Amino acid sequence: MAFELPSLPYPHNALAGRGMCQETMELHHDKHHQAYVTALNGFVEKDSKLQGKSLEDIIKMSHGNAEMAPVFNNAGQHWNHILFWQAMSPQGGKLPGRLEQQITSDFGGVQQFKDAFKAAAVGQFGSGWAWLVKGTDGKLKVTRSANGSNPLAGGEGEALLGCDVWEHSYYLDFRNRRPDYVQNWLDNLANYEFAASKL
């Protein structure tokens, strides 16, 4: 069974008023994410070791294996983008009480969390991701990863939110201003209800 591009959980123009325009969504979801899925399916077709494996299995078995780097990159990016579309909402930016309490407990406050997340996202040199992760100790933390990697591959815990800091995610809306994109993402796009549902 080939991997498939999931539909967006909202229309392509649903985030336009919140800093992610329709053209960004059309390119990012329909072209970039589709390209990762197509490439991954091509690798699976040619390699019997990958056939019948879940996406998570493929990510774990290819992680850290130089020969499988192209498989890892595309499987990771498929997994990352599946999460990314869910991690945003046309009603984004509002923190449910339960998540706010845990963020306050683990980071000292919502502002401290946002500052840490923004620092991770801006500090990721080149392409990559910033994450809100529930660690194996049950505590929330912020991490970052390069290119197509993610907290699943690194064994860091469960990703509750992931912010794509590849330029294809923000260049039409924010040009080179990654800090402004990330701040807007945290304030107006992040689906904290989704994050809370994974606590």
Which residues make up the interface to Fe ion (CB under 5 A)?
164, 166
Smallest distance, Å, CB 168 to Fe ion? 5
Nearest distance, CB of residue 81 and Fe ion, angstroms:
6
Nearest to 119 by CA among 138, 103, 95, 143: 143
Please identify, using beta-carbon distances, which residue of 102 and 149 lies nearer to Fe ion.
149
For Fe ion, the closer CB: 113 or 166: 166
Q: Which is nearer to Fe ion, 107 or 166 (CB)?
A: 166
Nearer to Fe ion, 166 or 192 (CB): 166
Nearer to Fe ion, 50 or 87 (CB): 87
Residue 127 Cβ, how far from Fe ion at the closest point, in Å?
8
Closer residue to Fe ion (CB): 164 or 173: 164
Question: Are 12 and 25 contacting, i.e. CB atoms less than 8 angstroms apart?
Answer: yes
The continuous run of DSSP H or E covering 160 comes out as strand 158-164
How far apart are the C-alpha atoms of 138 and 78, rounded to whole Å?
Answer: 26
Sorted by sequence, the CB contacts under 8 Å of residue 59 that are 6+ apart come out as: 72, 75, 76, 79, 150, 152, 153
CB 47, CB 18: distance < 8 Å: no
In three-state secondary structure terms, 182 is helix
Tell me the closest approach of the beta carbon of residue 199 to Fe ion, in angstroms.
Answer: 25
Contact criterion met (CB below 8 Å) for 74 and 39: yes
Structure tokens at 147: 């290119």
DSSP 89-125: -TTTTPPPHHHHHHHHHHHSSHHHHHHHHHHHHHHS-
